[in-house]
Amino acid sequence: MDNIKDRIFVLAGRMGYPLADVKREILRRGGKVRSEVTSRSDYLVRGVIHSADRTAERDSSQIEQAIRLQKEGCEVRIMWPHDLFTMFADADEKN
């Protein structure tokens, strides 16, 4: 797994943990959290999206944007929350 430091993450959907905690863990390890997927984004962490959530439309559009960018040749990686948590564990082992 890649290093988290200086990587740009966008979070979409429910992560299984409070979003504030997930953001804090990314920042603690030197990563950056942004609210929009752009060509500079490294990762879109795709959590569970519930249609009843007030952020469901935004979260779905973030995933669609990441897929569009991938088709254009950008290296935005779409991952699940458990992949992010594995990155956390790997980073912790190295320190």
Residue 36: other Cβ atoms inside 10 A: 10
**pTM, two decimal places:** 0.88
Asked if 63 contacts 27 with a C-beta cutoff of 8 angstroms, the reply is: no
**SS3 label, residue 52:** coil
Q: What local confidence, expressed as pLDDT, does residue 2 receive?
A: 65
pLDDT tens, residue by residue, 67-90: 999 999 999 999 999 999 998 888
Number of separate helices (H) and strands (E) present in the chain: 3, 4
User: 20 vs 94, which has greater pLDDT?
Assistant: 20
pLDDT tens, residue by residue, 26-60: 999 999 999 999 999 999 999 887 667 777 777 78
